Structure 1
């Protein structure tokens, strides 16, 4: 059910499309960064452990 947008239909619908694309891009960037940070944290944890899996310190 589409409301009648009159002569501004193209502008309104294109602004919705651009907004949805920007939100999708932001979501994908957030997930990618989370994956990258999680991998870096695992690498740091492995570096902090000494030989045999015992924590250094």
Structure 2
């Protein structure tokens, strides 16, 4: 199913691998940051509701 890439196979496959790795890293970072921000927002909301 994979096309014949000839002499460029190593370059193309390494570019695909690097792109996939960066995408996974960006998704993981986004999820991690989102959880951190959500936790901080919950702390602020609890402070506000106590003083409300």
Aligned alpha-carbon RMSD (Å): 0.9
Task: Point out the structure with the larger helix share.
Answer: 2
List 4+ stretches of structure 1 deviating above 2 A.
Answer: none
Tell me: higher relative CO, structure 1 or 2? Use CA pairs within 8 A at least 6 residues apart: 2
TM-score by length of 1: 0.86
TM (norm. structure 2) is 0.94
| Runs of 5+ consecutive residues of structure 1 not aligned to the other structure | none
